[in-house]
Structure formats: C-alpha cells, structure tokens
Amino acid sequence: MVRRGLTWAALVVATALGQATAWGEEDMRTAPKYLQGLRERGYYELADQFLETLRKAPSTPEDFRVTIDYEQGRLLIDEAARTGDLGLKKELLDQARGKLVTFTQKNPNHALASESLVQLARLLVERGHMAMIQEVETEDPKLKAAKLVEARTSFDQARDSYAKADEKLVAAFKVFPPHLPDNDPRKDERDRTHIAMMEAELQKAVVDYEQGQTYPLGSKERDEYLAKGMTQFEEIYKRYRTQLAGLVARMWQAKCYEEKGDIGPALGIYNELLEHQAPQLRGMQRHVAYFKIIAHGKRKEYALAADLANAWLQRYSSPDEVRSREGLGVQLELAKNILAQLPGVSEKEQAQAVNRVVDVLSQVVRYSSPFKGEALTILKKYKPKVAANAENLSRMGYDELDGQADQAIASQEWDKAAEALKLAVRKADPAKDPDKANLARYKLAFVYYMNKRFYEADVLTEHLARRYPRFSMAPKATEIAMASMADAYNTYREIDRTSDLNRLINVAKYAAETWPDKEEGDAARMTLGQVYHGTGQYAKAIEAYQSVRPKASRWVEAQTRVGASYWDQSKILQRKGDAKEADAEATKALDALNVALKARRDAGALPADPDLIGNVCDIADIQLETGKAPAALALLEPTAQAATGGGATGPAFSRLMTALLRAHINAGQIEKAQADMAVLEKQGGGANLAQLYFGLGKLLEAEMKVLKDKGDRAGLAKRQADYLKFLTALANAKSGQTYESLQWAGEQMLKIQNPGEAGKIFKRILETMGKDKAFLAQEGAGNLLLRTRIKYAEALRGQADFTAAEDLVSELLKEFPRSSDPLFEQGMLLENKAETKQGTWKAAFAHWQKLALRLGTSRPRPPEYYDAWYHAAYALAKDNQPTKAKQTLGSVMRLSPKVGGPEMKEKYDALLKNIK
C-alpha cells in the first residue's frame, strides 16, 4: 500500500499516536466504532490496515468479512477523490477497481453487488477528473486533446455504469412493499437500496454536467450536456426534495442556472440551501457556498465575493477542507476578486493586495487541481519567475530563487526546490534581513518533510524555532518538527523509535513553553496529552490537557480528553484493588466532562452535534459503570429525544442509542430497551449488525466486571437479572429476529452463567435457520452455524451434560479438521471433566500443549496460541505441578512479553500470582 497524506497529515497521526499504535491490543468487537473514527478523520491507510485486520481476525462475522473488499474499494475511492497527488490518485483508483471487481466476482448475488456498480461508476468519474486536471497542467496541444478524449470516455463509461446500477436498484426496490413498519427485517435493506438508487440517479445527472465541462464555454456540446443535466436535476429534486439526494440535485440545478447566465435564480437557490441547519448537510453546503462566491464574482460584485471567500476559509478551515477541490477553488476566486478591485486603489493598497494574492495562490499551486493552471498564470503575471536550471540558479538573487522554489514546490519537484532554497539561504543577508534566510529555511524544511527526509526537516525546524523564536514562522516550524518526528516514528520501525518519540515530546514541550499564548502552543499541549495518554501516562496527559488556555479553540476538546484520562486512570486503579482512589478519579472525570458539556451547550451546539453527543455518552458510560444508572438515564433520555428531533444519524447517534439501551436494561425497563434495540438495528443494518451486537456485549460485560471487581455481589446479581430479562425478551420476540440477534442473545446468556437458556437459543437456531434453505444459501452460512454449534457445545458443557457435549465436539472435529475452534472447545470440555473428577488434568494438559504447538507454526502467532499455553499452564497447576506451570508461562512471556494483548497479559499475570 502506498504511503498517504498531505502537508500536515503526520501531525494528525502524532496526535492520534496512542490509538494508532495500540490497536493490535484492542478487542476486535470495537471494530465498527474504531473504523468509523478512522474514516471520519481521513486516516485512510490506517482504516485500510484495520480492515485487513478484520479480514484475518477469527472473531469477524463472515457476513461482514465478505464485504471487506467492497469497503476497501469505497475507502480507496474516497481517498483518491481528496488527494491532490495525481500519481497517488491513479494508484488508489487502480487498487479500488481491483477490490470492487474482486468483490463483484466473488459475490454476484450479494445485496451490495448493485452498489458496487455505483462505486465503479464513481471510480470512472474520478478518472475523468484526473484526466481533466492533466489536460490543464500540460502545455502539449496533442496531449491536451488526448486527455480531453480520455476524460469524456471515462464519463461515458461512468454514465453507463450508473444507468446499469440504477436499473438493478430500481428493480430491487420494486420488490419491497411501498411501506414497511420499522420492525420489519426487510426495512433496512429497502432503505439502503432506496438511498443507493437515488444516489445513482443523481450521479448520472452530475456526469452529464461534468462532461459538458470538457467542451469550450458557449459550444453546442456544452450547452446540450448542460440542458440534459438540468432536466434531470429538476426531476430528481421534485421526487426527492426531502432527501439529501434531492437537495444536492437542487444545488446542481442552481449551478446550471448560473452557467446559463441566470444568476438571480441561482443565488436564490444557493441561499435557500444555506439556510438548512442539519449538520449532515455541511459537506453539501461547503459546495453551495463555493458556487455562491462564483456567482457573485460573475455579477462583478467583487468585494462581496472576496468577503464570502474569506468567510468560507474561516468556516471550513480544516487542512482537508482547505485543500479540497472546492477549497482550492475558493482560494482562486478570492485571488481573482481581490485583483478585480485593484483599479482605483492606492499603490500601497495594490501592493498589499498583490501580496495577499501571491500568498493565496502559492498554496493553490502546491496541489494538482483544475485551478492550478489559472493560478500559475496569475502568479507568473504578478510574481514573474525566470526559468531555472543548474547553471543559472547560482546567478539569481534571493527573490528569484524563492520564486523558483515556489514553482518547484507547486509541481512537487522536491529536489529542485531544495536546491533553490539552499542557495536562497546563502543569498540572504542575515545581518540586514535575517527573516529572509529563515523563511527560506522554513520552506526548505517543508520540502524535506514532503520528500520524506524527516530527520533533516526536524533538525532545520528545531534550529529555527529554538534559535529564532521571534521569527514569525517559528511557531509553525514546530508543527513541521512534530509532524516529522511522528512520521519518522511510524515509518522507521526497525530503529530506535523511543528516541523519535522522546524528540517529538521535547519539541512539543518547547512549543508549549515558548508560545504559551498562541494556538500553536495549545496544539503542542494537545499533542503532548495525546501521546502521554496513548502511552498510559495518564497523570502527565491530564496535566498537558489542563494547560490548554481557556480561550483556545480546542479548550473544550481538551476538557473532554481530561475526562477520558481520569477515567482510564480510574479503571487501572480499580483493577489494582484501590477502590477509593478509583472512585476519586472517576469523580474527577465526570467533573471535567460536565464542564465540557456545559461549555458546548453554552456555545449553542445543536442537539445532533456529534461532539455534543459524544460528550454526553462519555459521561453516561462512566455513570453506567460506576452504579449511577438513574443519573445516566436522566441525561440520556432527553438527549436522545432532542437528537432524534434534530435529525441525528451516524456513529454518534448509534453510540447514544447504545448507551440509552444499556441504561434501560440497568433500570429494568425492558420494553424501552427493546425499542432502543430496534432503533439501533435500523441504524446499523446489514453487515454492521453483528458488530453492533458484539460492541454492545462488550460494554455490558465491562459494567458487570466493574461490579465484580468492587465485590458488589448484590449489584452484580441485580445487573445480571436485569440483563437476563432483556435477553429473554429479545430471544422470545415473535418478529424482527435475525441470526445475529439470536446468536448474540445466546452468547450473552453464557457470559452471565445461564447455560440452560443459552442452550435453548442455540438449539432453536440450529433447528430453524440451520434448516432454512434461504439462510443456508447465504455465503458464510456454514461458518455461522459452526459458531452456533460450538457455543451449543459450550452450553451443554455448562449444564454438565458432558456426553452430549462430547458427541457434538466429535462431530465438529470430523467436519472441520483444520479449524482450531472445535479443538478449543474440546480442551475446555477436558478441563471441566477434570474439575468434576470425570477426567484427568494430564489429559487436559496434553491436549492444550499439542494445540499450542500447532498454533505456534502460524506467523504472526494468533491470540489463540497464547490462550492455549495459558490453559496448558493452568492444567499443570491444577495437577500439582506449580514449578512446571510457572516455567511454561515464563517461557512464553520471555519470547512474547505482550502475549497477544493486555487482556491475555492480565490473565497470565493473575495465574502466575495464584500458583502456589
């Protein structure tokens, strides 16, 4: 997989360092939340690696595993659409096509097969965009013509793909009744099909508009495509005016009006769309606001257009938004509208305006986009440059060298840029104007970073920041330094990574101390906090977060992270048996999170705001795990009601409903809990449903573990009783049942020590779904039923029905000789028989030792390998061989100190402690 990321991407990696490097030790059941977080933050490479982890993980449900190629294809296209690196874009699109084709070929009848066609059409559109950018950037007339043909061909193919996908989706949608109740198991699939159908229709119309852009303004072809697209946009808006697809079609309808010269109607629609308050429309409104700037510019309202462009850049200020296609377009429009106001202003104002234009466009030309050519043309006019070569660079002055470097940076010729900038440093006179030399050094550090020369970039930026702290770019230099060390840490894994991490911490400390009143200082404090948190140094993390200025833009986020660090510290203390200190830390966590919540509400955060919902859920999680369920319910119910009314959807809303479900279970409000589950299933749907159940189970287990660790037997018994009520109601429901819901209910029954009820559920699955031809025809059905049969054997074992359990395990071993799952269950059966004097611990040890040696041949070694050795040592200890048991555990821990993860490490440590 190619390396990804743009200018400051490594800084983001630095602030997420703990999460990114610790995933391998996490429980796989947190997969959906973690994956969604990676997607939302643009951590595409990490998301791709994570999907590969899910592909290999034994705990991944098969119905999700088969969709991984599809998900990776979507992910690759998303990244390709955002990157300005054409080489990377091409590689990503090629990889995406391979993934989607593989998925379609393996799963021609899958529910996502039609949606895969939609993604392939998206891919073709992106290829068309890439060809158009290449046409703009080349000076060769023949190549220009060839690229236009290539773009048009891609759009033609995309149109055909969308049409085919739409045809299949329409047919699939017609199969469903016009209206389905929320508890109908078909509703999720119907809704997904409807959304995909609307998207295909919309994008087919967008392709017509895009293809029109490949012809000259005023040409017959352009006008024809414009008219064709406009007709489709109008029809789509009429049909789906309350849906996102309809609103986006409305935006493109206005864009067509604008292109026809009907600026008034276009602006009317743009203003109408910008009035919507739903946060999920932010992406669309970003485009609308950009189109509105263009419209005012066409009206020659240059001052207003420039003001709107500045406002756009302030509102959509994240690096990804500024570097997006529309972000670069806004910057070009800003420059053009500033220049349009030059006539009639003073020379001083003209100079200031030109400097602003040059600054803005110097950023635009750094990335490949449809706007790069025009931006370069303007730059050449207002900041003339001499063509550079190795011979004449040495004859140039500082300003010319600086210009040559900007051009080289724009075309990503990093070596040429570095050569020019090194000469510029020498040409500058440090005595008269040290800032010139330092600016060249700053740019040179940027070039080194982009050229992956991380250590050189760090040395240069730290020199600037430490030697010249008053230099205007010194604070920014520390950002390059931190990004460089973070990338070095993540790239050079075979060398001294600790040194890189320490250097990252040192430069962050320096930035925080040197510029305590600047945003860069606060960013450094946040970086320190996240690095410390990720490495388990919670006290230091808290100190760093608390040092963020109250007036800082990230202060509320800092308070939220303070709460998270206090809470993680509390859980560690609880595991150590220090209940008093654990409770004190939990109280501090709640205090910090409540401060953050109040600040968000005071600032006017909308009910559906994901950050506000996340803040509420952080508080509720702690309350639920510390015996404050009524307080959690009092917080969650009004929040969920307001969020639902505000149109909340997505991961944040799913997390909110999960917390509410847990609170209702704890309160014994089973009917409300079932209603919560119905909402969650509607949100999760499809392949995500199984992951939803696994994630919920983990949260509920965590609650009971806290009670168990505290020794609160009464509280634990009540919690288990409430949980049992909910599971029984879920299992006995007459409608809306799925394999996932029943299997989950059965497995949770096992975890709360109710094997009798669990066995009934597993037997029901095998007698119904196990004989259902439609279910058996699904890909992966065999693996699902294998899991059910193994869990049924576990339930029989839990009821001490060893004969029936043994018979079932024997059947499984014959049917699945290569699977380790039946062997694990056989080992547990041997242990239970030894416990009840119906077998021997020697037989149990021999089995676990043989299984561990077999698993030890795999690379990397799976978690089951370490678990098998754990059970082997346990059997030895029970067989009165404590020395040999300790030696067994010790030898494994010497070779692999982490023994597969923190939970397994905790098990090993506990067993060592208990062996006498």
DSSP characters for 396-413? Answer: --HHHHHHHHHHHHHTT-
* Closest of 529, 566, 532 to residue 547, by C-alpha: 529
Give the helix/strand (H/E) hosting 771.
Answer: none
332-365: per-residue pLDDT in tens? 999 999 999 998 888 889 889 988 998 888 788 8
623-660: per-residue pLDDT in tens? 988 888 899 999 999 999 888 765 556 678 888 998 99
- Helices and strands, number each (H, E), in the chain: 45, 0
Handedness of CA 569, 49, 133, 299 (dihedral sign): negative
601-640 burial string, b = 16+ CB within 10 Å, else e? eeeebbbbbbebbbbbbbbbbbbbbbbbbebbbebbeebb
Instruction: Determine the Cα–Cα distance for residues 312 and 700; give it in Å rounded to an integer.
Output: 44
Confidence of residue 735 (pLDDT cuts 50, 70, 90): low
* Closest of 487, 482, 489, 486 to residue 525, by C-alpha: 482
- For residue 855, the SS3 value is helix
Instruction: Determine the Cα–Cα distance for residues 637 and 643; give it in Å rounded to an integer.
Output: 10
* Closest of 559, 744, 684 to residue 36, by C-alpha: 684
∠ CA 417-421-427, nearest 5°, is 150
Angle between helices 610-625 and 555-575 (to 10 degrees): 20
* Closest of 286, 205, 209 to residue 246, by C-alpha: 205
The better pLDDT of the pair 44, 205 is held by: 205
Mean per-residue pLDDT, 162-182: 87
214-233: per-residue pLDDT in tens? 999 889 999 999 999 999 99
The better pLDDT of the pair 708, 762 is held by: 762
Write the CA distances from 695 to 31, 53, 700, 703, 752, integer angstroms.
8, 17, 9, 13, 16
Average pLDDT in the chain: 85
pLDDT of 23 reads 39
- Residue 581 contacts by C-beta under 8 Å, 6 or more apart in sequence? 573
pLDDT of 652 reads 81
For residue 690, pLDDT beyond 70: no
For residue 318, pLDDT beyond 90: no
* Closest of 491, 414, 419, 428 to residue 454, by C-alpha: 491
- Residue in this structure with the two tokens 């206090």, named with its chain if needed: 566
Write the CA distances from 52 to 20, 24, 84, integer angstroms.
15, 12, 26
* Count of CB atoms situated within 10 Å of the CB of 723: 24
Amino acid sitting at position 758: A
The token pair at 769 is 């779904």
Mean per-residue pLDDT, 175-183: 85
The better pLDDT of the pair 171, 871 is held by: 871
Confidence of residue 193 (pLDDT cuts 50, 70, 90): confident
> In this structure, are residues 882 and 874 in contact, taking their beta carbons and an 8 Å threshold?
no
Mean per-residue pLDDT, 893-898: 89
Instruction: Determine the Cα–Cα distance for residues 498 and 198; give it in Å rounded to an integer.
Output: 51
248-289: per-residue pLDDT in tens? 999 999 999 998 899 999 999 999 999 988 888 888 999 999
479-491: per-residue pLDDT in tens? 899 989 988 888 8
Give the helix/strand (H/E) hosting 83.
Answer: none
pLDDT of 166 reads 87
∠ CA 359-365-371, nearest 5°, is 110
> In this structure, are residues 505 and 535 in contact, taking their beta carbons and an 8 Å threshold?
no
The token pair at 61 is 């449900």
> In this structure, are residues 624 and 595 in contact, taking their beta carbons and an 8 Å threshold?
no
The better pLDDT of the pair 123, 646 is held by: 123
Instruction: Determine the Cα–Cα distance for residues 454 and 448; give it in Å rounded to an integer.
Output: 7
Mean per-residue pLDDT, 809-826: 93
Instruction: Determine the Cα–Cα distance for residues 594 and 299; give it in Å rounded to an integer.
Output: 49
For residue 593, pLDDT beyond 90: yes
* Closest of 235, 237, 241, 248 to residue 287, by C-alpha: 248
For residue 881, pLDDT beyond 90: yes
pLDDT of 26 reads 46
Instruction: Specify the length of the chain in residues.
Output: 916
Phi then psi for residue 549, to 5 deg, are -60, 140
Instruction: Determine the Cα–Cα distance for residues 672 and 637; give it in Å rounded to an integer.
Output: 11
Instruction: Determine the Cα–Cα distance for residues 34 and 14; give it in Å rounded to an integer.
Output: 17
Instruction: Determine the Cα–Cα distance for residues 79 and 2; give it in Å rounded to an integer.
Output: 12
* Closest of 832, 811, 813 to residue 822, by C-alpha: 813
The better pLDDT of the pair 691, 712 is held by: 712
The token pair at 171 is 């047919």
361-394: per-residue pLDDT in tens? 878 887 778 888 888 888 878 865 434 455 567 7
Instruction: Determine the Cα–Cα distance for residues 203 and 232; give it in Å rounded to an integer.
Output: 10
Angle between helices 688-710 and 31-41 (to 10 degrees): 120
% of the chain residues with pLDDT over 70: 90
- Residue 487 contacts by C-beta under 8 Å, 6 or more apart in sequence? 10, 13, 449, 452, 454
pLDDT of 525 reads 95
* Closest of 229, 226, 227, 236 to residue 199, by C-alpha: 236
Mean per-residue pLDDT, 504-521: 92
pLDDT of 605 reads 65
Instruction: Determine the Cα–Cα distance for residues 262 and 295; give it in Å rounded to an integer.
Output: 10
Reduce the secondary structure of 421-468 to three states and give it as a string: HHHHHHHCCCCCCHHHHHHHHHHHHHHHHHCCCHHHHHHHHHHHHHHC
| Omega before 516 within 30 of 0, i.e. cis | no
Reduce the secondary structure of 176-229 to three states and give it as a string: CCCCCCCCCCCHHHHHHHHHHHHHHHHHHHHHHHHHHCCCCCCCHHHHHHHHHH
Instruction: Determine the Cα–Cα distance for residues 617 and 623; give it in Å rounded to an integer.
Output: 10
449-475: per-residue pLDDT in tens? 999 999 999 999 999 999 999 898 899
The token pair at 444 is 């040179």
Amino acid sitting at position 529: G
Amino acid sitting at position 84: G
- CA dihedral 560→566→567→569, nearest 10 degrees, is 150
- Residue in this structure with the two tokens 């930026």, named with its chain if needed: 461
For residue 603, pLDDT beyond 70: no
Q: How far is CA 466 from the centre of its chain?
A: 35
Q: What is the DSSP letter of 383?
A: S
Confidence of residue 513 (pLDDT cuts 50, 70, 90): very high
48-70: per-residue pLDDT in tens? 888 888 888 887 888 888 889 98
Mean per-residue pLDDT, 852-866: 90
819-846: per-residue pLDDT in tens? 999 999 999 999 999 999 999 999 999 9
Instruction: Determine the Cα–Cα distance for residues 796 and 759; give it in Å rounded to an integer.
Output: 7
* Closest of 15, 3, 82, 1 to residue 450, by C-alpha: 3
Instruction: State in Å, rounded, how far the first CA of the chain is from the last one.
Output: 50
904-916: per-residue pLDDT in tens? 998 999 999 999 7
Mean per-residue pLDDT, 665-675: 80
The token pair at 371 is 């706007």
* Closest of 435, 398, 437 to residue 420, by C-alpha: 398
pLDDT of 16 reads 37
For residue 14, pLDDT beyond 50: no
* Closest of 367, 390, 401, 364 to residue 379, by C-alpha: 364
- Residue 580 contacts by C-beta under 8 Å, 6 or more apart in sequence? none
Instruction: Determine the Cα–Cα distance for residues 693 and 691; give it in Å rounded to an integer.
Output: 5
Mean per-residue pLDDT, 765-782: 90
Give me the residue spans of the domains in the chain: 840-916
Task: Give the least confident one: 407-411, 758-762, 857-861, 872-876.
Answer: 407-411
Mean per-residue pLDDT, 675-686: 71
pLDDT of 25 reads 39
pLDDT of 10 reads 32
Question: What is the value of pTM for the model shown?
Answer: 0.48
> In this structure, are residues 664 and 633 in contact, taking their beta carbons and an 8 Å threshold?
yes
Confidence of residue 4 (pLDDT cuts 50, 70, 90): very low
Phi then psi for residue 752, to 5 deg, are -100, 25
